[in-house]
Every structure is written in structure tokens, then in C-alpha cells.
């Protein structure tokens, strides 16, 4: 058919978007930021040259190969980059393996539902003779399973920016990015070859995780969306012509005017495009090919012989280096035609911190070509297993090792993770928590650190009014990482509310900002977690600190959170702090305290009365002063756990000196009680 659509030079980016089913397909104008030519007008001429080159090559290739019946298969190495925030979007390896399987079934016309193709089009259905395979060798020559995983909040935006996180050479690999979100009502988007040739750092496909494969977070109804996107990657337009490109020239699906346009493929009838599956629809004077993978119909069944030729043309063109992907040298370099060599032993667990009596599921993630395996569990209810997935119950508190040995014939690899599983006593020892990190033993008895990583939470000799605190080596660490510290269970069954307070120190750096501290609570011994607060960290007084940050005493901040106890009144409540790393500087925490809000009347601490405590911190004594004078009453000093430490009687005096020389370093509360006004509370730090 004759191509008849207009090209607006300022809107010349061929970029494809698949919209979620049953949505208004005309509402995608703000979905993806594609202001590329307005921001980089110098790229327009390069794009036009690439498109003209590919168009001319495609026309000649189709003319010369229309009767080819070689039967050879083009193999494309692929890598899936899972960009996640530790939620549902961190999909399983199995879901990705299934996606590869489903794509290849559809590309090779092996899907059983080809019998359902409308009779008028059955003779056009093509085996495209293209296959994708997960890479087995990464760009550095290392063994891989063709899946990378990167933590980043960018998973919730899903635009081109995710490609800056990780991007393998596009002339060697098809990069597929899996995200939580790729835009409102969008399922995926891909760059077509002419644009990818101009902007190679954006070459690839971005997919919402729930449209990957047919299992896991996806379902069989969505399994053809990735195939649709691969069609765009290989230079296929939507079947009604043009592209849905937000803020660039595009043809919305279902518009009556689409009959005037074309997809540059001779055996696909003109159509307006469909989001439904009316197999008898006639929109442009002939039966519509609603079942084509490049429509929006969700009853996809076929590519045509004409689309196959266009795909082969793209794979033989040098535009975007698609002609290098399937070369023998590249297939060897990426490992996709080699035998499955055993090269990596690795496993993971669905939980690393549990309470006694609970279970952990372990999964073997080793590759390639595993023929047998042997698990060894310390402290579990079974000592060994040979299954790829094993669930173990741990009955006794403790810290336990896990080991896996994998086999390929006589060749073996072993992975042992020391202190991998932490099993907590489900019965709490206290209904309070006082932690200043001075004692390494107390720290180990009260807290768990799930991430056994170099830059995770650790004790450090930079305390707030003390010798030690806890810190994350964020200055030297890996951006976009998440580090956790989890309390052991404590009893809140007698509380309606409790207070969590802590001191922290943090500095920005010129490399970035945006670190967050998530405060979470679990009422079921760590099985599920609920966000109670998100602290966006900043220290405007310090500004950017370009060298490694070590806090002085006046660079600490104080934070606290009032927690309403759930209806379960848990006697094994746990709290978790999660530090979300970006590109900032070090983060420090100290003096984490948990206590009953009612015990100290903390709500009155910020009363408008002019009650002053100084110096604060104090070493041997402090002064309590009330603006209108201390009338007949008492000054009570409480430890953070509610223990009454001293009582000082006052009568008609402007101030009182309170001796603290005999008390240990820490946080205390001063409570002034008189007969003619409400009790007043202030916090005091003792530091010697």
C-alpha cells in the first residue's frame, strides 16, 4: 500500500506505546517525555538520515527477498533489567523465563490458537523466524543469566531515565526494562531503529512488570504485549499506521481518519485500529486484521509474511546495528549458542529475619544446566534437600548458616552463606527499648541487620552525647541501595500508643540528595510491614559536604513518631528503619527509644509555658527555670524507661538546680508538677 502520512519535522520521533486495555487511548499525551528534538534539535538531521537509509534499504530488501524460503532463524541476545523498589515489580526469574518462552512461541507461530485465525488471513500468518535468548555472558565477559536487578525509585516513572541506571551495548543485546510503571495507562514502549540509531543510549524496550509473560504478576491475557513491543523494536508500525507518540505526530487508535494512512506493509489491510476483538469489523472497506500482533485488540494471533520481510530487513540493516545482533561472533560473545556450562551457584530466601516457629523458603538461582543440587540447613527442621525450592521451619532462636551445592554431571559449585538466617525469640523480653549503641553485646541482642553487605548499618565511634552510634557508609556505598535495621520483638499489648524517638545526623553532597528514612512497623513478627512515616533527610544548615561526613555534636537532629497500636495489640511488635540511598553523604542514628506515650505525658512537652532546661546536654547538673517562677511543687526526673530517678521539692523560687552526676549517659525527662497548673515535661540529655 502507498504510504500517505504527513511528516512534521519537529515531531519526527518514531516511538511506540502500548496502552493498557480498556483505557482511553487518546489520553497518552502526557505519558512519556519525548521532547528530544526540542531539547536537542541537532539530532533531527541524524534521525532523518537514519530513517531515509532504513526506508530505502527496507524497500529494496523486500523486493529482493519476497520469495525467500531459507528457514534460517535470527537469534537475538536479550537482557532483562528489573528496576524495582523491592515490591511486586521485582518479578521472579521464572516470570522472565516464561516471557521469553511466550515471545518465542508467538514469533515462531507455535501458539496453539493459530487455529482461531480468521479464515481470510490464515494463509498470511507467518513464522517470523526470529528467536530471543537470554544472554549467558555479560558485556564484561562474566557469567550471567540474562537478568539484572537494580533498586531505584525510577521504577515508578519508567521513562527513558531508567536506561541511565544500566544499559548493555545495544549493538549486542536487546535491553528490556521491567518497571512498576511506564506512564498512566501504559503497558510498554520501545524505540524503533531510526530513533535508536540516533540515540543509542535509549535503545530498548520498557515494560510494566504486569505485562511480562503469562505468570507471576502477569496473566495469559497480557502475554502478547512484549511481542508487540519487539515488533516495534524490529521496525513494525501499528497496523493502522504511524505511532502513538505523546507530543509528537501520531495516529490515535480507532480514529476514522486512519483509513488514509498505512503501516508500510502490503498484506495488512487498511484499518482504523481496534482495542476490542470484533473479528468481523470492516472499517476501511475491507475486513480488518484485528488479530494482528501490532493492533491493540488483545486477541493477537499472527504476524503476516509482509511483516516478516520488514522485520528481516531491519535485522539486515546497519541502522541501529540490528545487523550485528544475530551474527555468529555476537552470539558467541553473548553466550547464547554455547552449551549450558555450570558457572554460578547462588540462592536466596524470601525472608532472612523470622521468629521461632516460622518458615523460610529458599530458592536455587544457580546457572546454567543444573542437573542436581544438595542443600544443607543449620538449625532447620530438616538438614538437607535436593529440591530447587525448599521451605524450612526454624523452631529455635539463633543465627544459622545455609549451604547449597549444585551439580552438572561431575562438576560442582558450592555457596555457603554464614549467619544468613536470624531467628528471633517470639516472646518479647520488654515493652520498652532504649538503645544508645554503646554496648556491642546489647546491640546484637536487640537488633537485626538483614543485609549482609559492606555498606549496611554498622556501629561507629561518632555518637550523639556518647561514644557510639549507628551509621550507613553512604559516601562510599552503592547509590539506590536500601539498608535495614530491625528491632527484635517487644510487647505493646498494654499500650494504646507508644513513642519512637531517635537522633540522626546527615549531610548532602554535590552528587545528589533525596535519601529517605522509612519507619515501619510489623505486628506479625516481620511477616508484613506497614509504613508509619517517611523522613526526607536534609540538613540545610550544612549545605553540600563533598568530603566524607563525620558529625559534630551540634550537627545532630532529633525526630520522633507517635505510633497508634493496632487492634491486634501485638505482644511481638517489631520496628524497622530502612535507609534509601541515593548519592548523598553518610547517615547516622543514635538514641533510639521506644516507650509508652502515656507514661511521661510526652504530649505536653511542647507546652506554651516558658519552662527552660539548661545546659542541655548536662554533665553534672542542670537548671530548671520557669518564666513565671517555680511555685510550690516537685521536679521529678525520669529515665527513658519511666523509672523515677529523683524528686526535688521547690517553693516560690525562680529556678532549681538538679544533680545528675550519679546518672548514666542517656535521655531523661524532667517533669514539673505543681498544684495550680498542668504538669510540664522537658527532655534532658546527660552526657559526661
Q: Which of 29-43, 163-177, 412-426, 535-549 has the lowest mean pLDDT?
A: 29-43
Please report which confidence band the pLDDT of residue 452 belongs to, taking 50, 70 and 90 as the band edges.
low
pLDDT of amino acid 23: 38
SS3 letters for 382-433? CCEECCCEEEEEECCCEEEEEEEEEEECCEEEEEEEEEEEEEECCCCCCCCE
- Greatest mean pLDDT among 30-39, 222-231, 256-265: 222-231
Task: Report the alpha-carbon distance of residue 504 to residue 483 in Å, rounded.
Answer: 15
Q: What is the phi-psi region of residue 307: left when phi exceeds 0, alpha when psi lies from -120 to 50, beta otherwise?
A: alpha
Cβ contacts of residue 681 below 8 Å, gap of 6+? Answer: 600, 601, 602, 604, 605, 607, 669, 670, 671, 672
The closest alpha carbon to 669, from 653, 650, 652, 646, belongs to: 646
Has residue 7 got a pLDDT over 60? Answer: no
pLDDT of amino acid 628: 65
pLDDT of amino acid 253: 83
Cis peptide before 466 (omega within 30 of 0): no
What's the whole-number average pLDDT of the chain?
A: 84
CATH code 2.60.40.3080 region(s) in the chain = 602-686
- Greatest mean pLDDT among 36-50, 134-148, 154-168: 134-148
pLDDT of amino acid 512: 57
User: What are the two backbone dihedrals, phi and then psi, of residue 358, each rounded to the nearest 5 degrees?
Assistant: -100, 170
pLDDT tens digit sequence for 547-592: 899 999 888 888 877 787 766 666 778 889 999 887 788 999 998 8
Would you say 418 and 382 are in contact if contact means Cβ atoms under 8 Å apart?
no
pLDDT of amino acid 5: 29
Would you say 78 and 325 are in contact if contact means Cβ atoms under 8 Å apart?
no
Q: Provide the CATH number for the domain formed by 602-686 in this structure.
A: 2.60.40.3080
pLDDT of amino acid 355: 86
From the number of C-beta atoms within 10 Å of its C-beta (0-12, 13-18, 19+), residue 370 rates as middle
Q: Name the more confident of 611 and 273.
A: 273
Q: What percent of the chain has pLDDT over 90?
A: 44
Overall residue count recorded for the chain in this entry: 688
Has residue 676 got a pLDDT over 90? Answer: no
Task: Report the alpha-carbon distance of residue 587 to residue 508 in Å, rounded.
Answer: 10
Cβ contacts of residue 666 below 8 Å, gap of 6+? Answer: 434, 436, 466, 591, 639, 640, 685, 686
Q: Provide the CATH number for the domain formed by 9-251+303-333 in this structure.
A: 3.40.390.10
Task: Report the alpha-carbon distance of residue 115 to residue 663 in Å, rounded.
Answer: 84
Q: DSSP states of 59-107 as a string?
A: HHHHHHHTT------EEEEEEEEEEESSSTTS--HHHHHHHHHHHHHHH
The closest alpha carbon to 379, from 420, 413, 348, 429, belongs to: 420
pLDDT of amino acid 513: 64
The closest alpha carbon to 164, from 284, 285, 52, 83, belongs to: 83
From the number of C-beta atoms within 10 Å of its C-beta (0-12, 13-18, 19+), residue 643 rates as exposed
pLDDT of amino acid 613: 85
Cβ neighbour number for residue 457 with a 10 Å cutoff: 23
- Greatest mean pLDDT among 36-40, 186-190, 513-517: 186-190
CATH code 2.60.120.260 region(s) in the chain = 433-600
Q: Which residues are catalytic?
A: 229
CATH code 3.40.390.10 region(s) in the chain = 9-251+303-333
Cβ contacts of residue 62 below 8 Å, gap of 6+? Answer: 306, 309, 310, 313
pLDDT of amino acid 538: 65
CATH of 433-600, one of 3.30.420.340, 1.20.80.10, 2.60.120.260, 3.30.365.10: 2.60.120.260
Q: DSSP states of 474-528 as a string?
A: TTTS-TT-EEEEEEPPB--TT-SEEEEEEEEEE-BBTTB---EEEEEEESSTTSS
Q: Which fold would CATH assign to domain 347-424?
A: Immunoglobulin-like (2.60.40)
pLDDT tens digit sequence for 218-227: 999 999 999 9
Q: DSSP states of 612-669 as a string?
A: EEESSSBSSEEEEEEEEEE-SEEEEEEETTS-EEEEEEE-SEEEEEEE-TTSPSEEEE
pLDDT of amino acid 575: 86
CATH code 2.60.40.10 region(s) in the chain = 347-424
Sign of CA dihedral 55, 57, 59, 65: negative
Q: Which of 160-174, 315-329, 574-588, 589-603 has the lowest mean pLDDT?
A: 589-603
Mean pLDDT of 522-531: 84
Amino acid at each position: 500500500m502507498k504510504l500517505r502520512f504527513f511528516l512534521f519535522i519537529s515531531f519526527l520521533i518514531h516511538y511506540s506505546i502500548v496502552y493498557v486495555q480498556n483505557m482511553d487511548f487518546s489520553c497518552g499525551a502526557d505519558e512519556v517525555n519525548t521532547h528530544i528534538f526540542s531539547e536537542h534539535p541537532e539530532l533531527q538531521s541524524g534521525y532523518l538520515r537514519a530513517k531515509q537509509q532504513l526506508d530505502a534499504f527496507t524497500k529494496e530488501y523486500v523486493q529482493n527477498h519476497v520469495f525467500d524460503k531459507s528457514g534460517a532463524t535470527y537469534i537475538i541476545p536479550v537482557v532483562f533489567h528489573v528496576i524495582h523498589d523491592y515490591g511486586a515489580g521485582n518479578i521472579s526469574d521464572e516470570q522472565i523465563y516464561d516471557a521469553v518462552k511466550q515471545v518465542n512461541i508467538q514469533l515462531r507461530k507455535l501458539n496453539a490458537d493459530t487455529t482461531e485465525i480468521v479464515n481470510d488471513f490464515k494463509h498470511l500468518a507467518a513464522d517470523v523466524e526470529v528467536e530471543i535468548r537470554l544472554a549467558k555472558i555479560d558485556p564484561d565477559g562474566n557469567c550471567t543469566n540474562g537478568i539484572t536487578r537494580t533498586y531505584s525509585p525510577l521504577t515508578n516513572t519508567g521513562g527513558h531515565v531508567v536506561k541511565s541506571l544500566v544499559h548493555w551495548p545495544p549493538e549486542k543485546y536487546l535491553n528490556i526494562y521491567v518497571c512498576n510503571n511506564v506512564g498512566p495507562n501504559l503497558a510498554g514502549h520501545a524505540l524503533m531503529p531510526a530513533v535508536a540509531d540516533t540515540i543509542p543510549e535509549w535503545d530498548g524496550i520498557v515494560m510494566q512488570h504486569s505485562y511480562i509473560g503469562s505468570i507471576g504478576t502477569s496473566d495469559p491475557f497480557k502475554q502478547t504485549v512484549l511481542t508487540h513491543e519487539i515488533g516495534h523494536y524490529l521496525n513494525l508500525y501499528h497496523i493502522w499506521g504511524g505511532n502513538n507518540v505523546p507530543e509528537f505526530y501520531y495516529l490515535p487508535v480507532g480514529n476514522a481518519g486512519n483509513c488514509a494512512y498505512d503501516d508500510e506493509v502490503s498484506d495488512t489491510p487498511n484499518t482504523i485500529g481496534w482495542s476490542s476483538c470484533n473479528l468481523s469489523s470492516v472499517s476501511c472497506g475491507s475486513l480488518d486484521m484485528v488479530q494482528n500482533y501490532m493492533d491493540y485488540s488483545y486477541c493477537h494471533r499472527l504476524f503476516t509474511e509482509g511483516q516478516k520481510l520488514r522485520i528481516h530487513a531491519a535485522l539486515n540493516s546497519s541502522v541501529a546495528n540490528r545487523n550485528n545482533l544475530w551474527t555468529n561472533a555476537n552470539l558467541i560473545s553473548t553466550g547464547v549458542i554455547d552449551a549450558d556450562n555450570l558457572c554460578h551457584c547462588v540462592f536466596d530466601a524470601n525472608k532472612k529475619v523470622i521468629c521461632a516457629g516460622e518458615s523460610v523458603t529458599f530458592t536455587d538461582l544457580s546457572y546454567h544446566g543444573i542437573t542436581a543440587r544438595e542443600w544443607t540447613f543449620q538449625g532447620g527442621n530438616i538438614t538437607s534437600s535436593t529440591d530447587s525450592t525448599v521451605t524450612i521451619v526454624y523452631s529455635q532462636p539463633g543465627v544459622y548458616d545455609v549451604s547449597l551445592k549444585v551439580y552438572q554431571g561431575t562438576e560442582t559449585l558450592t555457596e555457603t552463606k554464614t549467619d544468613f538466617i536470624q531467628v528471633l525469640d517470639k516472646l518479647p523480653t520488654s515493652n520498652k527499648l532504649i538503645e544508645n549503641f554503646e554496648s556491642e553485646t546489647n546491640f546484637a541482642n536487640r537488633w537485626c541487620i538483614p543485609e549482609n553487605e559492606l555498606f549496611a548499618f554498622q556501629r561507629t565511634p561518632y555518637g550523639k552525647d556518647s561514644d557510639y552510634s549507628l551509621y550507613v557508609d553512604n559516601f562510599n556505598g552503592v547509590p539506590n541501595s536500601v539498608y535495614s535495621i530491625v528491632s527484635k520483638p517487644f510487647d505493646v499489648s498494654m499500650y494504646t500508643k507508644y513513642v519512637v524517638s531517635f537522633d540522626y545526623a546527615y549531610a548532602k553532597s554535590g552528587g545528589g540528595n533525596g535519601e529517605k528514612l522509612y519507619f515501619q512497623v510489623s505486628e506479625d513478627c516481620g511477616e508484613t510491614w506497614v509504613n508509619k512515616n517517611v523522613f526526607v533527610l536534609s540538613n540545610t544548615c550544612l549545605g553540600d559536604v563533598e568530603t566524607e561526613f563525620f558529625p559534630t555534636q551540634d550537627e545532630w537532629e532529633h525526630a520522633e513518631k507517635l505510633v497508634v497500636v493496632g487492634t491486634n495489640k501485638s505482644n511481638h511488635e517489631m520496628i524497622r528503619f530502612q535507609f534509601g540511598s541515593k548519592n548523598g553523604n553518610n547517615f547516622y542514628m543514635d538514641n533510639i527509644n521506644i516507650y509508652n506515650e502515656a507514661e511521661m505525658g510526652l504530649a505536653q512537652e511542647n507546652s506554651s509555658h516558658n519552662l527552660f532546661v539548661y545546659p542541655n546536654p548536662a554533665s553534672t547538673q542542670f537548671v530548671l527555670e520557669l518564666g513565671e517562677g517555680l511555685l510550690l511543687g516537685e521536679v521529678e526526673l525520669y529515665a527513658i524507661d519511666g523509672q523515677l530517678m529523683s524528686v526535688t521539692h521547690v517553693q516560690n523560687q525562680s529556678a532549681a538546680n538538679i544533680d545528675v552526676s550519679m546518672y548514666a549517659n542517656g535521655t531523661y525527662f524532667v517533669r514539673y508538677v505543681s498544684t495550680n497548673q498542668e504538669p510540664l515535661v522537658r527532655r534532658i540529655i546527660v552526657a559526661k
